[in-house]
Chain A
Amino acid sequence: MMNTLSKVFGFACLMVGCTGLNVDRLSLTDPRLPVDARRWVADAEDAVVISRAKRDEAGRLLKAVQSSLEKTLSAPAFDGPQGTTAKLKREQMALSRLDAATAALSLADAELGLSKARLRLIYAETAMRQDIAVYNMPPLQAAVDQALSAVVANRDAHRRAREAELKAADEWWSAWQSLAAKKGDTRPFWTQAD
């Protein structure tokens, strides 16, 4: 009996497309949706838009940092005592900034993935609640959980990268301070293009 039921359910799911992660988008103007449901869906959609904007911003920052790194690496060495150390520390800082910006982009990507997975789940939940469609919820919930795990992992990675960046900055400014105090040639820092 159970076997038959599960077959029927499976067939019904196939008919309505509830076996995978494909979820139909709900329209906010759909008259079948009550106000609360529309608000709920709209919030989830907003979250995706915001996450995407954050991801784009993180992408722009990464490009800027990459460009800055290239210029730093190609900049001439500082003349004078501590010049070599200063150059090294500066490059290390630029690299750590790149790591942090890369981690920030990964985090933003993961957050965008999470917001999308959540939106799918919310579409499905709302559709089922309002008798609009039937979906197989466990895979959708699992996708959200998986995306959340990715966010958690990326957040921790970003935190570590940021800490490393700050540490590298401390070391670079310490080296710079020594270079300036010993009247080294600081011009390579200033003549580098934006």
Chain B
Amino acid sequence: MYRIISTFLMLSFIGCAAPNTELRDQPQVERLRIQISKARNAIAETRRAIAEARGAPYVVELYVRLAELLGDEARYHYQVAYEREQRSGKTLHVPQVRFLKEQAIGIYTEVLAKNPGTPLAPRILFNMGQEQRELGNYKKMRAALERLVSEHPNSSLRYEALLILGDDRFDRSKLEEAGKYYAQMLTGNLNRMTGLGHYKYAWVMVNQANCKAALTHFRDAIISAEKWFGRKNATVDESATQSNLDVRREALVDLVYCYTQEHKDKGVLKYLRGLAYSRGAYVAALERLADRLGTLDAAAGALKAGRELLILGTDSPKRVDDARMLYAAIQKTKDFSQVGRDAELISRAFLRQIRRPTGADETRERLETELETVLANVGILAQKNMNKLKKGTAARNQLAVEIAKAYQLHVRAFPDSSQKGAILGNLVDVLVESGDVFAAGRSAIQLAEHLAKGTDQDNAWYDALVNFQKTLRGESTRMQRVVARAGLRKAGRSLLASALAPERARKVKFAVAQTDYDEGRHRVAIDRLNAIAFEYPGTLEGNTAVNLVLDSFKIANDYLGLIRAGHRFMAASSPVQASIKAEIRPIVKSAEQFQLDELALAAAGVDGGDVTGDLEKFAEAYAGTALGERAVINALLAARASGDSKTLYRLAAEFEEKYPKSKQLSAIRSTIARTAASRYEFDQAVKYFATAAAVPGAQRVPLFIAAGRLKEQLGDISGAKSTFKAAFQAADTTAAKNSAIQPLAKLFERQGQYRSVVTTIGPLGDEADPESLAYLGIAQIRVGQTDEGEATLQRVLDGGSTVSTEARSRAHFGQAEVFLKALESFDPGEDLETIQELVTLLEVTEQAYLKAAREGDPTYTAASFGRLAHVSKKTAARMRTIKIPTGTDPEMASALKKGFAQRADVLDKQATEALAACAEQGWIHYNFNPLVRACLKGEVPKANAVRFDVLKPRSTTQAPADLEALRVRLSKNSEDLDALRAIGVSFIKAGDYHGARLVFGGAAQIGGGPIESNLLGIASYRAGDITGGLDAFARAAAGGLTTGRDNLAKALEEQGLPNAAADAKKRYPGGQSGGMRL
């Protein structure tokens, strides 16, 4: 059993191991057999149909169809035999074929005999002709077809019959006869056979050595076929009916022979291109042309044909031959004008074959070797040719461009070639010749990398460097610049590694450093340029490097680095030339200014830490110079901005010490003073205002005034007076004098020192402005200089709308006081007319007070109402005691008395109302000045109505501790209400009410609420500013603060105003909790 199995396996192995034999195409025979079966079935079916259709009109058609089916079956049998004989060309003996065909011919003959007029006659004759031809009965074939041609001139089969007849004659070399048949094909309208007729006729002409006529018919064949296919209703399968022959293509290819016979290669490409209907046809013609020109040894034409072929031809091994032909043509014609393009075409044709994956290695290697040689040779030959041309000419440059392309192809295709060095060397040369210095540089780099160490390599590096330098000097793209710079650095570095001559080394180093500079690689550029500057001082490169170093720092915005580098170059020990040192000095100086500005800018923007540190160091480095001065000022401003008062005062002292003659001294002092004031550092502020004012200048007066006001607010009245006086003394213009005198006059007025006001302002004379005159006029009236006072106040009113409200109020009030004096001193006696004058004077006085009240200044409005009450009350009393002139009619006297009494009553009422209006000013405007307080008590002001509270002396000047953090906050944000409140409360706790009053005054200005108002009230009240205190309490109470209301009530009680206190509680309901109690 096992033996059987092993034998079977053995046989299987033997069978499997046997070589595969190519089997016949069995399915083809099968297909033919099926066709035969189908034909037979059809024949049988047709015979049945004929049997059943005797006498029918279509029976002829059935017979023809039967004959055709027999012919078809015969053809299938022949094809089966052909297939069985494995498609060999030997003669086949197939009896069925002859039998079937003869059957068919018999049917055709019978049908034609019985039905001579049948419309199927042309078809029958044509079929008969075909069958006879296939049976080899050519004579009978000709008879049938000639009968068709002669009897049926309009049949479409006539042209095909002529073609067969022509071909038959042609094959028997009976050209004349063949020509006649073909010529008959050309008659009549254009049809599908016209082109073919021309084509066939052309070949007859060719064989008769008449190329001229042949060329014409080939062309007509193409044109006719083109026309036929181009007509409107052309169909696609018509080409198949034309005997499977593409006349357009065949004619184009076949005319090449006659064209070259007639015209050689002249205009051949244009001629062919003009007639070609497709690229394929054109390429086929070109292939024929290339062969033909090769035969004719026409190199120039072959060159053109070869190029065209390589451009248009499809990928094929034939292209390699074309490429060889092109190469040979180039060599022969020595036409290198397109050598780059030609090399590319050749290279492409070869490489396509080389890269074919199915190609044999041997073939590939052979082709590679051949291509390498071809490319190298065309380049070298072309270069030799180029060297014969004159240097610098356009032709030479153009040729160089082409040669470079050829060499570049070589380098790309054969990177490991043994000729690489030589080719790269040539490539660099031709690229330089062509003017493409960028590519020359790149190729030189490649060459240098390829070469071994030595002179040749150094020269290659140097070539690269020089060409990249030229690239960078000329116009180039961004990519080229980047590559050129990198290449230059690489070449330079390699060159510098070898022993270069000092002169060359210097230039190379500078070139390398310059690329860094140009490329914006500042960090590296600075290092390399610095190195050159110190290594080669006094040379062009060294001097330029110095400037470029500074410029690099500047571009990088590194002024600190620039300054340091500048000083290094300018140092005594520096080898840099003196002229260069002088040249860079202004640059460094300018950089120092910039650096200072940068530092100042940086210091202004920082959020904390040692903001002035850099500036102070800078100032220290430039101490005693204008730059140092600016640095200190900037540091000072930075310290102020950051709220660092300790540093601020230290820097101010430093500035005073180091720059005592600085023009900025006054400004610095006043800045410090204002800063101190804004931080509520009163003593510092007063001190700096005074020292700032000591410096001559236009700012002296305002600085004195600011100092005086601060002193006044702090209760230092005598100090304030002397400061205001100093301001007046310092004033050298009318405006300055007026602005200096007014605060002093106001202070005197508040102190009740009216004579001092007169003696101070009086000497100003005409220089006094209306504001100053308003003080003077009131003072003059108070000291009894009534007429002068009246005149002075009239000058105020003459000032018109430019005069302030307060000044106008003063003027009207002063004039009312003058009228009042006149009224009080007027004695009407017992004369009715004088009594009438008294009444008029009273009315004038009343109107004057009312006018003053209407001006709207709270102080003088209240005073006017108060005085109006006084006038009304006093005049009412006079009205009641007025004596009626003696001798007056009793009835009249009675009426007058009654009238005076009624007027007195009105005046009493007016007095009451005026007093109430005066008191009401406190509640309306929160103005509780001494006069209003008197009004609230019900006291009519009999004498000077305008009175002021006097501040108490400041109880302490000791500043509260631990305020620095709060002050820093204030420095950063002057509207930091929390900080302000905390500082103010600290002052109150420390007992410095004057200071607290200023702090809360500031809080009120920036929009403080009831809490702050209440605290302002406490501070003001305790400092002796009762009016201010009550004002602030009232505002706090009006804001809803219960404590504020209570404090107001308490203060009013303390001032002897219990009713007002009670009224306050009624007016202000309170509600908001919190706040400090008085």
A residues neighboring B (CB under 8 Å) = 64, 68, 114, 148-149, 151-153, 155-156, 159, 162, 166, 169-170, 173, 176-177, 180-181, 186-187, 189-194
B496 within 8 A of partner (CB): yes
Pick the residue among B489, B496, B608, B614 that contacts A148 (CB under 8 A).
Answer: B608
Bound CA span A68–B525, Å: 13
**B560 proximity list for chain A (CB < 8 A):** 162, 166
Query: Interface segment, B529-537, B991-999, B1011-1019?
Result: B529-537
Output the residue of B497, B509, B609 with the most chain A CB within 10 A: B609
Pick the residue among A152, A189, A192 that contacts B608 (CB under 8 A).
Answer: A152
Bound CA span A155–B610, Å: 9
**A186 proximity list for chain B (CB < 8 A):** 531, 535
Output the residue of A68, A153, A190 with the most chain B CB within 10 A: A190
**A173 proximity list for chain B (CB < 8 A):** 530, 534, 568
The residues in B between 608 and 625 inclusive whose CB is less than 8 angstroms from any CB of A are: 608-610, 613-614
5 A-B contact pairs sorted by A residue (CB < 8 Å): A152-B608, A176-B530, A177-B534, A177-B575, A180-B531
The residues in B between 496 and 550 inclusive whose CB is less than 8 angstroms from any CB of A are: 496-497, 509, 512, 521, 523-524, 528, 530-531, 534-535
B493 within 8 A of partner (CB): yes
B residues neighboring A (CB under 8 Å) = 489, 492-493, 496-497, 509, 512, 521, 523-524, 528, 530-531, 534-535, 560-561, 564, 568, 573-575, 606-610, 613-614
Of chain A, the residue at the smallest CB distance from B610 is A156
Say whether B607 contacts A152, CB under 8 Å.
yes
Of chain B, the residue at the smallest CB distance from A111 is B607
Say whether A148 contacts B607, CB under 8 Å.
yes
Bound CA span A141–B534, Å: 53
Pick the residue among A155, A170, A187 that contacts B568 (CB under 8 A).
Answer: A170
A contacts with B: majority SS: helix
Bound CA span A186–B564, Å: 23
Of chain A, the residue at the smallest CB distance from B606 is A155
Bound CA span A187–B573, Å: 24
* 7 A-B pairs with least C-beta separation: A152-B609, A180-B535, A190-B496, A177-B534, A191-B497, A152-B608, A166-B564
Say whether B531 contacts A176, CB under 8 Å.
yes
**Shortest beta-carbon distance from A133 to chain B in Å:** 24
Bound CA span A156–B606, Å: 12
Say whether B607 contacts A159, CB under 8 Å.
no
**Shortest beta-carbon distance from B714 to chain A in Å:** 36
Bound CA span A68–B564, Å: 22
**Shortest beta-carbon distance from A186 to chain B in Å:** 6
Contacts A155-B606, A190-B512, A194-B489 given; indicate if A180 touches B534 (C-beta within 8 A). yes
Bound CA span A121–B727, Å: 50
Say whether B607 contacts A169, CB under 8 Å.
no
**Shortest beta-carbon distance from A173 to chain B in Å:** 6
Bound CA span A125–B400, Å: 74
**Shortest beta-carbon distance from A94 to chain B in Å:** 10
**A162 proximity list for chain B (CB < 8 A):** 560
**Shortest beta-carbon distance from A194 to chain B in Å:** 6
Say whether A193 contacts B493, CB under 8 Å.
yes
Say whether B607 contacts A151, CB under 8 Å.
yes
**Shortest beta-carbon distance from A165 to chain B in Å:** 9
**Shortest beta-carbon distance from A105 to chain B in Å:** 15
Bound CA span A7–B939, Å: 59
**B489 proximity list for chain A (CB < 8 A):** 194
**Shortest beta-carbon distance from B513 to chain A in Å:** 9
Contacts A152-B609, A180-B534 given; indicate if A191 touches B575 (C-beta within 8 A). no
Bound CA span A115–B534, Å: 44
**A187 proximity list for chain B (CB < 8 A):** 496-497
Say whether A64 contacts B531, CB under 8 Å.
no
Say whether A194 contacts B609, CB under 8 Å.
no
Pick the residue among A159, A189, A192, A194 that contacts B614 (CB under 8 A).
Answer: A159
**Shortest beta-carbon distance from B621 to chain A in Å:** 12
Pick the residue among A148, A169, A192, A194 that contacts B564 (CB under 8 A).
Answer: A169
**Shortest beta-carbon distance from A169 to chain B in Å:** 7
Bound CA span A148–B573, Å: 44
Bound CA span A149–B608, Å: 8
Output the residue of A177, A181, A189 with the most chain B CB within 10 A: A177
**A156 proximity list for chain B (CB < 8 A):** 609-610, 613
Of chain A, the residue at the smallest CB distance from B530 is A173
**B524 proximity list for chain A (CB < 8 A):** 194
**A170 proximity list for chain B (CB < 8 A):** 564, 568
Bound CA span A192–B556, Å: 23
**B512 proximity list for chain A (CB < 8 A):** 190
Of chain A, the residue at the smallest CB distance from B524 is A194
Bound CA span A68–B524, Å: 9
Bound CA span A187–B531, Å: 11
Of chain A, the residue at the smallest CB distance from B602 is A155
